Amino acid sequence: MGMRLRFSSVLTRHSAKVNLLLLFGEHILSVDVEGNMFMWTFKGINQTSAPFGHILLGEKFTPSCIVHPDTYLNKVILGSQEGSLQLWNISTKKKLYEFKGWNSAISSCVSSPALDVVAVGCADGKIHVHNIRYDEELVTFTHSTRGAVTALSFSTDGQPLLASGGSSGVISIWNLEKRRLQSVIRDAHDSSIISLHFFANEPALLSSSADNSIKKWKFGTSDGDPNLHSFRCGHSAPPLCIRFYADGRFILSAGQDRAFRLFSVIQDKQSKELSQHHVSKRAKKLRVKEEEIKLKPVISFDCAEIRERDWCNVVTCHMDTAQAYVWRLKHFVLGEHILNPCPEDPTPVKACAISACGNFAVLGTAGGWMERFNLQSGISRGSYLDMSERRSCAHDGEVVGVACDATNTLLISAGYHGDIKVWDFKARELKFRWEVGSSVVKIVYHRVNGLLATVGDDFIIRLFDVVALRMVRKFEGHTDRITDLCFSEDGKWLMSSSMDGSLRIWDVILARQIDAMQVDVPVTALSLSPNMDVLATTHVDQNGVYLWVNQAMFSGASNANSYGTGKEVLSVKLPPVSSMESSQAEDSDEPVVNHLQSKDAPAFRSQDQQIPDLVTLSLLPKSQWQSLINLDIIKVRNKPIEPPKKPEMAPFFLPSVPSLSGEILFKPSKIAIEERDAKVDEVENNRRQSGMPTSQFLQLLQSSMEMKNFSAFTEYIKGLSPSTLDVELRMLQIIDDDDQQEPDKRPELFTIDLLLDYFIHEISCRNDFEFIQAVIRLFLKIHGETVRRQSRLQEKARKLLEIQSTVWQRVDKLFQSARCMVTFLSNSQF
């Protein structure tokens, strides 16, 4: 499970569907349905590799299985749907022998640990253990259930066992010594067995099935019967509804296989199917399949994370079911209450919603009835009635959607005939209503911005302001039925999918489409993670939930060149099931193309995405730039405790110089200067011995100044540790400030001048704001006296102060505005 796969090559030569592959030794054999078998060399394979051999099996030979018998050099056995079995030499490309067959199509074949012995499974349910050396049959077994034998495997741990799987999902274990059936796993899988494999020298069997599951079976030491040890599974039928849960770490998914699942985006071990109360036991007792015992497929559901630890926090509507069911995700189990709206006139429940507080669930039925339930007790808390309708109900027709606002003040409902109604949530009275103008098939409500998105049968998306009671946006572009809608967490974007194969992203603020892509299989459901970095989709006739990782579209960039016009739509394929592309991207030097990024959109840099009057942070750990400020304190704290030493002899009178802080600084003596120079020389020597360029810091600074681009220098100092950056700055320190030499002839002053120019540029650009502030503080702490003494540097320092004040005043003004708004809202009473 943890192995990383790397894409190697694509072999192209077949003109028909490839149905068989075999890897043995240094060869790869591929067989298609038309009887063409190509031989490829496994070692040194690349994109331009060509097959070294080709065999045409014949017109009356449709290959159905292939196996390489042990110790048979360059030989393979091929089974056919016509019932014949052939032995071929791939080196000489000759057919060596054709076996008699058993008048039934051969569906599987496997080699045994015993030499010259193979097991052959047929479509009539019989298993033939055959000696291919003498063309003699050793033993024949017959499945107790109808259907073909689709998979076979021999045990290699010393037990004479043969496992067989059939098209009915049953696994049979045969004892070869006693020549009888040893055990049967009747409920192994819900669909046809695809493959079986005994682990080498272990009493363990691995099985996989068309029901999208893989299971590991352990054989007990007492009776030898297999027991289920572990398994991984997904939906055996296409999912219908999906929703991100728990801050995007999980995905709730409901499928046509009647399963309600919780998928983990981070670790597959945490994925599981929610229990429906002893389905397996009830199915065994009634002697029916588990699928017949489960609830009908979920067509709609809603969840609330706020009450997960208290009571049931998920409600589901099921196909052609007049009740709604509640689930408790804390225990991954079906709840004890069943919500039964309008028991006098039961009609299928079509829509559901949970209030923001997590206490109530509102249901809408196909008969137009709407009722509110308490999730803790499951008791009805009243219904919503519109007295203007012809009969006492909420809508004159099917309720296609319900939604609650963030404060339990309003309830929004939509009828199939295009009527949108706003209700008082507590009083259950109708407040407003309006007509859409077409039949409504789906609604999505965003609680933060109060916008309601509706989908009509005219393929148009309309956005309504529930408070203002008017339509504010109208999006057109889809040419077929719209399957799903999804708001982003901040409500700025709306995503829509359609049966025309397109997935479109709409900017709610700008009222236009900003991106679109065309997938080869239409999307049926979608959900965007709260962080807006992962999009989950389901597709027509696909059992998986596909994840699309995006880093550009939802980063906040707002540039006219990136808007999708709808005329050119990017065509993409579905994401791979394996990790092939991700590992390929890691091993490749080429940039990864984002599936959700528009074809014509430029690759924006972080500087281009900066909003005016705002600053950009460096995204460095807080401890890294804070350590620059408190480096002296850290050094004192980490200094090892040493025994007290006798102080060295010092002169009675020490020369002192004034400082910016007002503290008295003693002028270093010649001995101190010599010790300082020796320490600097020692640091330089260590850097030379380590192979690091002596003046890399200075070279990058000078080259950045020449090119007027400080990004490389910024990335360099951001990669330095706080202590290393401190040493780099102290290397420029002026020891003797009384030196009367001209400033232009002193390289130290020139470097300090460059650093001031660098700080002025970065502050004016407002990049890496908090990190640059920490570096400036450290710089002034070390070189403040030098800047004060040099008139040229004083001018640069004044300019830096002006720019710093201007930028900070803008940012502080925004802070003050935000504080005022928060204070106003917090003191307001609604």
Report DSSP letters for 259-284, one per residue: -EEEEESS-GGG-EEPB-SSHHHHHH
Taking alpha carbons only, the member of 627, 589, 519, 507 closest to residue 556 is: 507
Please write down the long-range contacts of 139-148, taking CB distance under 8 Å and 24 or more positions apart: 139/176, 139/179, 141/172, 141/174, 141/181, 143/170, 143/172, 144/170, 144/172, 144/181, 144/184, 145/170, 147/192, 148/105, 148/107, 148/121, 148/122, 148/123, 148/124
Beta strand pairing call for 75-80 and 85-89: antiparallel
Query: What pLDDT is attached to residue 352?
Result: 94
Q: Which of 258-267, 310-319, 543-552 has the lowest mean pLDDT?
A: 543-552
pLDDT of 442 over the 50 cut: yes
Least confident of 220-229, 315-324, 642-651, 784-793: 642-651
Q: Taking 70 as the threshold, does the pLDDT of residue 156 lie above it?
A: yes
Exposed e or buried b per residue across 502-523, where buried means at least 16 C-beta atoms within 10 angstroms of its C-beta: bbbbbbbeeeebbbbbebeebb
Q: Is the pLDDT of residue 454 over 90?
A: yes
Q: Is the whole-model pTM more than 0.75?
A: no
- How confident is the model at residue 715, as a pLDDT? 82
Predicted pLDDT at 600: 36
pLDDT at 552 over 50: no
Selection from 7-21, 343-357, 712-726 with the highest mean pLDDT: 343-357
| 74-78, 130-134, 220-224, 298-302: least confidently modelled range | 220-224
Beta pairing class for 27-32 and 18-24? antiparallel
Distance CA 485, CA 403 (A): 14
Exposed / middle / buried, residue 60 (Cβ in 10 Å: 0-12, 13-18, 19+): exposed
Query: Phi-psi category of 47—alpha, beta or left, where left has phi over 0 and alpha has psi -120 to 50?
Result: alpha
Distances (CA, A) of 3 to 66, 234, 268, 578, 579: 27, 20, 14, 11, 9
Q: Distance (Å, rounded) from C-alpha 305 to C-alpha 490?
A: 18
- Mean pLDDT within 806-825: 85
Question: Which ranges of 287-357 would DSSP assign to H, the alpha helix?
Answer: 290-293
User: What are the structure tokens assigned to 647, written together?
Assistant: 């102080």
Give every CB contact of residue 809 below 8 A, 6+ residues apart in sequence.
Answer: none
- Spatial distance between the Cα atoms of 758 and 760, rounded to a whole number of angstroms: 5
Q: Beta partners for 386?
A: 393
Alpha carbon dihedral 617, 618, 620, 625, in 10-degree steps, equals -80
> For residues 245 and 368, what is the distance between their CA atoms, to the nearest angstrom?
30
Tokens of 702: 């000078």
- Note the pLDDT tens digit of each residue in 238-248: 999 999 998 88
Q: Which range scores top for mean pLDDT: 173-177, 325-329, 632-636?
A: 325-329
Name the nearest CA neighbour of 697 among 660, 663, 666, 724: 724
Spatial separation of the C-alpha atoms in residues 125 and 738, rounded to whole Å: 102
Please enumerate in sequence order all residues whose Cβ is within 8 A of that of 474, keeping only pairs 6 or more positions apart, or say none. Answer: 460, 461, 462, 463
All structural domains of the chain with their residue ranges? 18-233, 234-435, 469-574, 696-733+743-823
Q: What angle do CA 436, 442, 443 make, to 5 degrees?
A: 75
* Among the listed residues 384, 450, 449, the one whose alpha carbon sits nearest the alpha carbon of residue 415: 384
How many whole angstroms separate alpha carbon 335 and alpha carbon 311? 9
Average pLDDT in the chain: 81
Which pairing describes strands 570-572 and 512-519: parallel, antiparallel, or unpaired?
parallel
Q: Greatest CA span in the chain, whole angstroms?
A: 116
Task: Report CA-CA distances (Å) from 819 to 27, 68, 632.
Answer: 71, 75, 35
Topology of domain 234-435, per CATH? Answer: Methylamine Dehydrogenase; Chain H (2.130.10)
CA within 13 Å, CB half, 224: 15
Fold match between domain 18-233 and domain 469-574: yes
Residue 563 CB-density burial (10 A; 0-12 exposed, 13-18 middle, 19+ buried):
middle
d(CA 635, CA 589) in angstroms, rounded, equals: 41
Long-range (24+ apart) CB contacts under 8 A made by 622-625 are: 624/722, 624/771, 625/770, 625/771, 625/774
pLDDT tens track for 665-674:
555 555 555 5
**What is the 8-class DSSP label of residue 96?**
E
- Predicted confidence (pLDDT) per residue in 87-109, tens digit: 988 888 888 998 888 888 999 99
Cα 569 to Cα 600: distance, rounded to the nearest angstrom:
10
Q: What is the CA radius of gyration of the chain?
A: 37
Tokens at 15, concatenated: 């003109």
Task: Let me know: does 442 contact 455? Beta carbons within 8 Å.
Answer: yes
pLDDT of 742 above 70? no
Residue-level pLDDT at 285 = 80
Given its phi and psi angles, is residue 35 left (phi above 0), alpha (psi -120 to 50 degrees) or beta? left
For 56, the token pair is 């045409």
Fold of the CATH domain 18-233 = Methylamine Dehydrogenase; Chain H (2.130.10)
How far is 545 from 244, CA to CA, in rounded Å? 12
The predicted model gives 653-677 an average pLDDT of 54
Lowest mean pLDDT among 128-132, 282-286, 304-308: 282-286
What is the predicted pLDDT for the residue at 221? 62
CB 767 within 8 A of CB 718: no
Dihedral, CA atoms, 168, 173, 177, 180, nearest 10 degrees?
-50
Task: Dump pLDDT digits (tens) for 339-372.
Answer: 999 888 899 999 999 999 999 999 999 999 999 9
What pLDDT does residue 795 have? Answer: 86
Q: Which residue has the higher pLDDT, 690 or 538?
A: 538
| Residue carrying structure tokens 């097959």 | 51
**Higher local confidence (pLDDT), 830 or 343:** 343
- E-strand ranges in 698-801 read none
User: Between the CA of residue 431 and those of 265, 384, 715, what are the distances in Å?
Assistant: 42, 11, 58
Please tell me the distance from the alpha carbon of residue 433 to that of residue 595, in angstroms, as a whole number: 41
As a whole number of angstroms, the distance between CA 128 and CA 142 comes to 9
Q: 200: buried, middle or exposed (CB in 10 Å: 19+, 13-18, 0-12)? A: exposed
Element (H, E) at 416: none
Band of the pLDDT at 605, cuts 50, 70, 90? very low
Q: Let me know: does 196 contact 151? Beta carbons within 8 Å.
A: yes
Indicate the DSSP class of residue 723: H
Sorting pLDDT into bands at 50, 70 and 90, what band is 556?
very low
Asked if the model's pLDDT at residue 476 lies above 70, the reply is yes
Which distant-in-sequence residues (6+ apart) come within 8 Å of 241 by Cβ?
A: 252, 253, 254, 298, 299, 300, 301, 525
Residues 167, 147: contact at Cβ < 8 Å? yes
| Other residues' Cβ atoms within 10 Å of the Cβ of residue 155 | 22
Determine the CATH number of domain 469-574.
Answer: 2.130.10.10
3-state helix, strand, coil in the chain (%, to 5): 20, 35, 45
Confidence category of residue 776, pLDDT binned at 50, 70, 90: confident
Over 60: is that where the pLDDT of 53 sits? Answer: yes
Of 12, 4, 46, whose CA–CA distance to 585 is shortest? 4
Amino acid 23 reads L
Please say whether the beta carbons of 443 and 453 come within 8 A: yes
Q: What are phi and psi of 518, to 5 degrees?
A: -115, 120
pLDDT of residue 603: 33
Higher pLDDT, 202 or 709: 202
Beta-bridge mates of residue 101 = none
- As a whole number of angstroms, the distance between CA 206 and CA 189 comes to 12
Element (H, E) at 507: strand 502-507
Residue 1 has pLDDT above 60, yes or no: no
Percent of the chain exceeding pLDDT 90 equals 28
Give the confidence band of 589 by pLDDT, cuts at 50, 70, 90: very low
Dist CA 514 CA 550 (whole Å)? 14
Taking a C-beta distance cutoff of 8 angstroms, is the pair 541, 559 a contact?
A: no
Provide the pLDDT for residue 640: 67
pLDDT exceeds cutoff 60 at 585: no
Mean pLDDT computed over 412-441: 91
User: Which of the pair, 690 or 643, is modelled with greater confidence?
Assistant: 643
Higher model confidence: residue 588 or residue 713?
713
The residue with greater pLDDT, 360 or 771, is: 360
Mean pLDDT over residues 788-796, rounded?
Answer: 83
pLDDT of residue 581: 43
